[in-house]
Chain A
Amino acid sequence: MAVKNYIEAITDALALEMRRDERVFVMGEDVGVRGGVFRATAGLLDEFGPQRVLDTPLAEAGIVGTAIGAALNGMLPVAEIQFVDFILPAVNQIISEAAKIRYRTAGDFHCPIVIRAPYGGGVHGALYHSQCLEALFTHVPGLKVVTPASPYDAKGLLLSAIRDPDPVLFFEHKRCYRLLKGDVPADDYTVPIGKVAVRREGSDITVFSYGLMLHFCQEAAEDLASEGISVHLVDLRTLLPLDRESILAAASRTGKALIVHEDNKTHGIGAEVAALISEEVFFDLDAPIMRLCGPDVPAMPYSSPMEKYYMLDQKKIADKMRELAAF
């Protein structure tokens, strides 16, 4: 089995599905000749030609609107938004159109689009290249929001997303692109949307995370193991719909739950997971549900020390884990 990094796994999935199903095509800013600013679509133009690898104008509403129209006409578009920071002009298309098509046509039409977008900080990207915007979309019924935390999941989840009959936002943490390497099978496999993955079995505290933070949580959990603190680590993977059963089972397992995400705290994913746990398994709880999240400030700072302050890291996470374990 080949060892690939996270972004190679994405390219792998796109090429595989384009070979398998000729309705699949990619579109976005610089995805063709340039092969994507992060090289996610490198080589696709050569293999599949300009009819299936479309360089678009810098107009996100146009990219998503075109994708929706193509999907309604039987195509399976994979649209790339160069940075999630630029998805905002397309929000009307996503929320008002894509998310509602199945509902407003009583199931006569559906909207099988995938919108890929790199997100997240820690790359010195400052205000407009560092945002986490997943919580804007997880509030919207009719959407699916996915964010893989490993190369294996990146490929398997992207294949599931393309094959899903409804709109899927596929968020890729840009720091993971070349940081994470792992075994990625060359053949066709899928990772189901709406299912968590338990990354580590433990008995003292349960930690939920996703994306880059999941990776930091994993490292922190390894540190804590040497201190005798056993962490049960859950990768949410899909933020909408949440895998309620697995989340509740994992929280009940230790009675102590911590949600870690890079996105800011207020009205974030952590709030939803915490509310779910306290609604459903209150009598299994042994401690207040804790959240460790980015600060509620408007944007990622440009200054390196400030960016470091903003971002969670292994140490901040380990400290919070210790606090919960001691409670």
Chain B
Amino acid sequence: MEIEINMPQLGESVTEGLVNRWLVKPGEKVVRDQPLCEVVTEKVNAEIPASHAGVVQDLAAGEGDIIPVGQRLCTLFTDESGEETGVEPDHSPGHKPEDSEPSVQQDRSQKLRYSPVVLRLADEHGLDLKAISGTGTGGRVTRKDVLAAAEMANEPASESSPAPPGALPLPDENQEQRVEHRTVDPIRRMIAERMVRSATTIPHAWTVMEADVTDLVAFRQKVKNRFFNQEGVRLTYFPFFVQAVIKGLQEYDQLNASWHQEHIHQHRDVHVSLAVATDKGLLVPVIHQANRLSLTGLVHAMDSIIKKARAGKLTPDDVSGGTFTVNNTGAFGSVVSMPIINPPQSGIVTMEAIVKRPVVIDDMIGIRSMVNLCFSFDHRIVDGAVAGQFLQSVCRHLQVMARESSF
């Protein structure tokens, strides 16, 4: 029986994956669950396992090819009749695509099939067909797509070609050569698509509050060396902040929710998404059931997932299921920011830089360590009053955390 191995859904809203390396050859015998190839997506790298024992028949994708989710990667020939194995195994347990994320699973099977007229027009206009997105069946580039691309390509050229009278001759280098065209890599495109979707579909409301973290600063100063010796991990402010957010979410659980058009999903557990800057771009790994972790547990969980993200080793599980996002913008010195919500979540909170400022307390001026918390929330899910109470609660927890924490 022939079994098709298709590109699995490797995480929410991932629509395609890049075949990085084949680990098997056509004709090779494989055992069940043996890795067939490595796939790189915007978010995770994964090995695609054989769903059955059998012989690899052919590889439908070359190394470096980008294959849409659901499209065939290769075919296995097995001895089994297939009666009990007719169900395509789910390679990504635990993270079915959320229904609010209409996964843009476009069929691109015809993307590289070019009709005679398309090849001719591309040649005449000097166009790179791979750079043109197709509107035909299966993503095929149609004659009209090429004509539109040619028109686009011509416009700037025709504007700049007649030099104004008396203009200085341009330097030898063509103006166009002064602009470098970089192809948008999968991560960049993913970020772009999500940001546009969030910013254009979610009514963002925004608020800022400041918290006095003088006690926390003193507390951390006091315990950080001991903590490092005991735990082997550096103690930063960020885990305190994350825990304050979790406590706030537990008090105002309307915010631990996601928007799904007809329904609002209310989550019992807090799965915290952490915005992590990596040299490849922004990644957002998730700490699941963070509400069950102690501060020390949270420090370890955050440390390990951030290291994993920076090493490019996140698995599909690591990036899915988040219910709320926190972002440590203070790490690069920001004092106020307007974060964009990570859909379908209800909100995102940033911790800005902790700065010493003169503050009036009981009609006296003191020097205090202050931090701004910036909060963007989906106004469809909650209103300003609840959002404000939540943020106040986070500030309050942050202020008293030093007293409540012990190591």
Contacts and interface: CB of A to CB of B under 8 A. Distances in A.
Interface of A: 203-204, 254-256, 282-287, 326-327
Interface in B109-127: 115-120
A260 B117 CA distance: 23
Nearest to B145: A286
B115 A286 contact: yes
A286 B137 contact: no
Contact of A327 (B117, B119, B136): B136
Interface-central residue, A254, A255, A284, by most chain B CB under 10 Å: A255
Nearest to B135: A326
A277 to B, nearest CB: 11
A247 B245 CA distance: 71
B142 interface: yes
Contacts of A282: 116
Interface of B: 115-120, 136-137, 140, 142-144
A204 B120 CA distance: 18
Listed from nearest, the 5 A-B pairs whose CB atoms lie closest are A286-B143, A255-B143, A286-B115, A255-B117, A283-B116
A326 B139 CA distance: 10
B118 A327 contact: no
B136 to A, nearest CB: 5
A256 B116 CA distance: 11
B143 A326 contact: no
Contacts of B140: 327
Contacts of A284: 116-117, 120
B136 A285 contact: no
Contacts, number: 32
B137 A285 contact: no
Contacts of B143: 254-256, 286
Contacts of B137: 326-327
A254 B144 CA distance: 9
Contacts of A326: 136-137
**A-side interface mostly:** loop
B136 A255 contact: no
A284 B117 CA distance: 4
A285 B116 contact: yes
A326 B138 CA distance: 9
Nearest to A256: B143
Contacts of B142: 286-287, 327
B276 to A, nearest CB: 41
B117 A283 contact: yes
Nearest to A204: B144
Contacts of A256: 143
B142 to A, nearest CB: 6
18 contacts: A204-B144, A254-B143, A255-B143, A256-B143, A282-B116, A283-B116, A284-B117, A285-B115, A285-B116, A286-B115, A286-B118, A286-B142, A286-B143, A287-B142, A326-B136, A326-B137, A327-B136, A327-B140
Contact of B115 (A203, A204, A255): A255
Nearest to A278: B116
A161 to B, nearest CB: 37
A112 B126 CA distance: 55
Contacts of A286: 115-118, 142-143
Contacts of A254: 143
Nearest to A287: B115
Contact of B120 (A203, A283, A287): A283
A327 B136 CA distance: 5
Contacts of B119: 283
Given A286-B116, A326-B136, 4 more contacts: A284-B116, A326-B137, A327-B136, A327-B142
Contacts of A327: 136-137, 140, 142
A204 B142 CA distance: 10
A254 B109 CA distance: 23
A255 B119 CA distance: 12
Contacts of B144: 203-204
A254 B120 CA distance: 14
A73 B102 CA distance: 78
A84 B78 CA distance: 58
A283 B136 CA distance: 18
Nearest to A203: B144
A282 B140 CA distance: 18
A2 B116 CA distance: 48
B226 to A, nearest CB: 67
A287 B117 CA distance: 9
A274 to B, nearest CB: 14
A286 B142 CA distance: 7
Nearest to A288: B115
Interface-central residue, A203, A285, A286, by most chain B CB under 10 Å: A286
A248 to B, nearest CB: 13
Contacts of A285: 115-117
B133 to A, nearest CB: 15
A255 B147 CA distance: 12
Contacts of B120: 283-284
A202 to B, nearest CB: 12
Contacts of A255: 115, 117, 143
A22 B140 CA distance: 61
Nearest to A323: B137
Contacts of A287: 115, 142
B228 to A, nearest CB: 62
A203 B144 CA distance: 9
A324 to B, nearest CB: 10
A326 B110 CA distance: 12
A105 to B, nearest CB: 45
